[in-house]
């Protein structure tokens, strides 16, 4: 299964992705996480450092694919999760879609692309262009991370539109929304009433999740020394179990921008 995790910048995609990847590995899946955000810190809490990106490696080898080995680009992360960072195009130039395409091409040449039960693409979702939708060409299942606010739900609706569009030509499905860093869900509920899709989980703001980023560890690693954090891991295990049990998902239909403004501003 190829999963794309989308959502507005800073919403918690990478944090959630890393912990879901481990949860899936705990369930016996062989998992590769690919960071597709030019920020290239997707896998930071899995490896504890910023691994070299595919684009950096390709550049250092003058784009000679035959000189690149799996060990150059696939790094071992916590809990048996393998990690890749696609990297970004030069700032202000180039296309993120090209970077994702090159990443998949290289992983195929290394015979790594079909080796995994699950490949999870961690993708930024507030840039609306064809490049940002590129991982949807390779994914069959999407999750959207959102909070209970206008901006994240607006981004979620744009992502929904991209999924609907790509689903016309690919066997692509939306698994649903994961609410993050919020104890309220009234706007999330309003949105899914107007635009039906499952809400898989809603995680509150948890100080230890914020701290995990600073420590460069996932919650699953932190729980080793702090057993009281087990309840946080349960959220991610629950998401993993839903992914593994209901992979059919839905083809969503976004709502028009104007309608969304009215809905979320209570006009
Ligand atoms: P993104 O990948 O979407 O840009 P990150 O995963 O890097 O976002 O998260 C941004 C920040 O929010 C990080 O410092 C992270 O630790 C923090 N964070 C994410 N989810 C939560 C949460 N549920 N509770 C508290 N902090 C969180
Ligand atoms: Mg990120």
The complex's ipTM?
Answer: 0.99
Q: What is the SS3 assignment for 198? A: coil
All residues with CB under 5 Å from ion ligand 2: 13-14, 37
Burial of 175 (0-12, 13-18, 19+ CB in 10 A): buried
Contact by Cβ (8 Å): 21, 30: no
Give residue 252's pLDDT.
96
- What separation in Å is there between the alpha carbon of 210 and the centre of ligand 1? 6
Element (H, E) at 84: strand 82-85
CA-nearest of 148, 156, 88 to 128 is 156
State the closest ligand 1 atom to the C-alpha of 7, by its place in the atom list counted from 1.
3
State the closest ligand 1 atom to the C-alpha of 203, by its place in the atom list counted from 1.
23
Ligand 1 pocket mutation pick from 35, 46, 209, 219 by most atoms within 8 angstroms of CB? 209
- What separation in Å is there between the alpha carbon of 20 and the centre of ligand 2? 14
Q: Which residues of 239-254 are buried (b: 16+ CB within 10 A; e: fewer)?
A: bbebbbeeeebeebeb
Give residue 128's pLDDT.
60
Whether 10 lines ligand 1, by a CB cut-off of 6 Å, is: yes
CA distance 147 to 199: 12
CA distance 103 to 53: 9
pTM over 0.90: yes
Whether 217 lines ligand 1, by a CB cut-off of 6 Å, is: no
Residue 29's CB: how many other CB atoms inside 10 A? 18
DSSP of 163-206? HHHHTTTS--EEEEEEE-S-S--HHHHHHHHHS---EEEE----
Give residue 63's pLDDT.
87
Whether 125 lines ligand 1, by a CB cut-off of 6 Å, is: no
Q: What is the dihedral of CA 202, 204, 205, 209, to 10 degrees?
A: -70
Give residue 267's pLDDT.
56
Model pLDDT for residues 16-34, shown as the tens digit of each residue: 999 999 999 999 999 999 9
Give residue 31's pLDDT.
98
Per-position pLDDT tens, the chain of length 267 = 999 999 999 999 999 999 999 999 999 999 999 999 888 999 999 999 999 999 899 889 998 888 999 999 999 999 999 999 998 876 677 777 888 888 999 999 999 999 999 999 999 876 567 677 888 889 999 999 999 999 999 999 999 999 999 999 999 999 999 999 999 999 999 999 999 999 999 999 999 999 999 999 999 999 999 999 999 999 999 999 999 997 789 999 999 999 999 999 865
Provide the sign of the torsion angle of the four alpha carbons 157, 160, 166, 167, taken in this order.
Answer: negative
Q: Is beta strand 31-35 parallel, antiparallel or unpaired with respect to 118-122?
A: parallel
DSSP letter, residue 53: P
Tell me the β-bridge partners of 85. Answer: 35
């Amino acid at each position: 299964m190829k999963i794309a995790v989308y959502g507005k910048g800073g919403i918690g995609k990478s944090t959630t992705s890393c912990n879901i990847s481990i949860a899936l590995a705990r369930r016996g899946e062989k998992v590769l996480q690919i960071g597709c955000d030019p920020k290239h810190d997707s896998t930071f809490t899995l490896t504890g450092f910023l691994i070299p990106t595919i684009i950096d490696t390709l550049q250092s080898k003058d784009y000679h694919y035959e000189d690149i080995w799996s060990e150059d680009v696939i790094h071992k992360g916590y809990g048996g999760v393998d990690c890749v960072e696609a990297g970004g195009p030069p700032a202000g130039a180039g296309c993120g879609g090209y970077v994702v395409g090159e990443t998949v091409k290289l992983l195929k040449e290394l015979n790594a692309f079909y080796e995994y039960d699950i490949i999870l693409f961690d993708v930024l979702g507030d840039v609306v262009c064809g490049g940002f939708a590129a991982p949807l060409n390779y994914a069959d299942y999407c999750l959207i991370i959102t909070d209970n606010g206008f901006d994240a739900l607006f981004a979620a609706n744009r992502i929904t539109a991209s999924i609907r569009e790509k689903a016309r030509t690919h066997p692509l499905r939306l698994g649903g929304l994961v609410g993050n860093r919020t104890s309220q869900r009234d706007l999330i509920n309003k949105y899914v009433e107007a635009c039906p899709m499952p809400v898989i989980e809603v995680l509150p703001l948890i100080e230890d999740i914020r701290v995990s980023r600073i420590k460069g560890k996932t919650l699953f690693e932190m729980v080793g020394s702090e057993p009281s954090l087990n309840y946080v891991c349960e959220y991610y295990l629950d998401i993993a179990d839903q992914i593994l049990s209901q992979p059919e998902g839905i083809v969503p239909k976004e709502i028009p921008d104007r309608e969304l403004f009215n809905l979320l501003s209570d006009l």
